[in-house]
Amino acid sequence: MTKRLTSDQSVAIEWLALPRKGGKTYEEIAAICGVTARTLENWRKDATFDAEYKRAVRRSNDARLPELVASLTDIAIADRNAAMAKLALQVSGMLTDKIEVETKDGAVTDVDALRERIAALQKREEAESSEIDD
């Protein structure tokens, strides 16, 4: 069973996920939630809290992602930065790391079965995520 967050924890996550914490200090966010800064620090160590915090950060920054990707290309070109160019190509899906796996028994890897398993795991993760949102 997935642990549920309290409403105070949800409020804290929304503030913490904002750029520059919405202009609030850690102590101010704790006060808004009716807890101490130490309690807020302890929440940050909780796996369920951390997972939801990361989802909130992604939601908060989705709108700026195209701007970020465009800036990667600009930096790579202006600075002649190979690492930034590689990152820009990876983000755009034009460059991937190739991983080859060789089995000891000579068996062929069933790629379709692996894809089905990955899809099932993603579906389970989405279901768990939606349970947290409810």
User: What pLDDT sits at residue 134?
Assistant: 60
Cβ-based neighbour number of residue 129 at 10 Å: 13
Cα–Cα distance measured from residue 134 to residue 122, given in angstroms and rounded to the nearest whole number: 18
Which residues make Cβ contacts (< 8 Å) with residue 59, sequence separation at least 6?
Answer: 17
Digits of tens for pLDDT over the chain (134 positions)?
568 999 999 999 999 999 889 999 999 999 999 999 999 999 999 999 999 999 999 888 888 888 888 888 888 899 999 998 888 888 877 887 777 767 677 677 788 888 999 999 999 888 887 776 66
User: What pLDDT sits at residue 106?
Assistant: 67
Cα–Cα distance measured from residue 118 to residue 86, given in angstroms and rounded to the nearest whole number: 26
User: What pLDDT sits at residue 2?
Assistant: 60
